[in-house]
Every structure is written in structure tokens, then in C-alpha cells.
Amino acid sequence: MATPVVRQFGGARRRLIEELQAKGISDLAVLRAFDEVPRHAFVPSGVRHRAYEDAPLPIGHGQTISQPWVHARYLELLGLTGRERVLEIGTGSGFQTALLSRLAAQVFSIERIPALAQEAQAALAECGITSVVQRVGDGSLGWPEFAPYDAILVGAASPEVPRPLVEQLAIGGQLLVPIGGREEQVLVRVRRTEAGQERTSLDAMRFVPLIGTHGFED
């Protein structure tokens, strides 16, 4: 019988987890999710041998799977307990979607490029993950039908915080979005409070652009 996909590259995966720990990631639930989700199943076969480097990789259509440290940082900032409803903008490879499915109760994910959404869905299915709800469309508008969300993650850079996403946050919920130009951004955390919202600027980041109504022009 063929080795299940999750068992392959086990040594490389453990070395990546040690590297993430050395780079400051200490949340055990996040590290466990990295151990349970095989990143190599979410990258094209041509770069599979590099799947456990702490580096972004091309996934086709001009897009990239983010660096593992970036995904880990997002997830550590969110501090999910397993009870949350989460919205992800920019499914891309589906790797972070898979990590989220391990850490939250409900995961909704929007991707703009149909082919990527399809490939992500296939990779999620290969890993036995069937609970994620996916849609193709402009994620800068959010997904109002299932709002409010306890957490919203944007995996692409935006010139400003997309207003619909703040509106779709639950009170106490938080949004993570890289804000800046097309080349360089700062990760911004927006917390929705009873009184309004609180914004904090965090790490410097480099993401591909969010293309849409509340993002960059195509």
C-alpha cells in the first residue's frame, strides 16, 4: 500500500518545526498543526523537494505559497482555541487553510484565481480535510453570509484595511492584513471592540497584491 501523504518527508518536517521554534514560534498548538499538515502536498511537484525550507515557493499563476514562518506568525498572533469561525482571504496553495482547519471550528476561504482554488481543494482532500468551505471571488469584499468571524486573515497585500472585513468581524474578533505598497508591507492587526476598533502595526512583510475592490487594481 502507498504511504499516506502525511507520513512522507517526516524528518524534513520535524527539522522545519525546530527551525520555526528557533525563530521564536513557541505556541504548541501551532507547531503541532505544522507537524500534522504535509506542506509538500500543497506545492507543485517541481518544487516539492524544497517544501520544508522556511521559504516562499512559486505555486503558478504568478502566486506564491508564503514562507512557513509567516503562516506560523499569523497563527500564533490569532491564538485560536478551536472554537472560532475563521475567514481566510487568498486560499492560494491551501496550506494555511489546512493549518486553520486544525486550529479553528469553522474555516471559510476565498480565492480569486479559479485554478488555484481547485488545486487547493484537491490538496485538502488528499489530506483528508473536507470541513473547509471554499469560494472563488473577490475576498476584499469578505463573505457577509457567514459573518461575523472571530478571525479574518488576509494572505495578500492591500493598500488599506478593507472596510468590509472590519465590518464582518465579531466584537473581540481580529483581522490580520499586510498593509503597504505592492513590494513591502507591515502586518496590521485590527481588533474589533465594543467602542470601535484598535489597530496595531507588527512585522515587516512581503506579500503578493490583493487584487480587488478594496485592494489593488488588476
> For the CA atoms of 63, 4, 72, 110, what is the dihedral angle to 10 degrees?
50
- Of 98 and 190, nearer to ligand SAH (C-beta) is 98
List interacting residues with ligand SAH (CB under 6 A). 63-66, 89-90, 92-93, 95-96, 110-113, 116, 138-140, 155-156, 208, 210-212, 215
Residue 66 appears among annotated catalytic residues: yes
Candidate list 26, 66, 93, 101, residue with the active-site label: 66
Q: Show Cβ contacts of residue 139 under 8 Å, excluding neighbours closer than 6 positions.
A: 89, 90, 110, 111, 112, 154, 210, 212
Distance CA 127, CA 107 (A): 16
126 half-sphere exposure, CB direction, 13 A CA radius: 21
- Of 125 and 171, nearer to ligand SAH (C-beta) is 125
Distance CA 70, CA 17 (A): 13
Q: Nearest to ligand SAH by Cβ — which residue?
A: 92
- Of 50 and 171, nearer to ligand SAH (C-beta) is 50
Which residues participate in catalysis according to the annotation?
A: 66
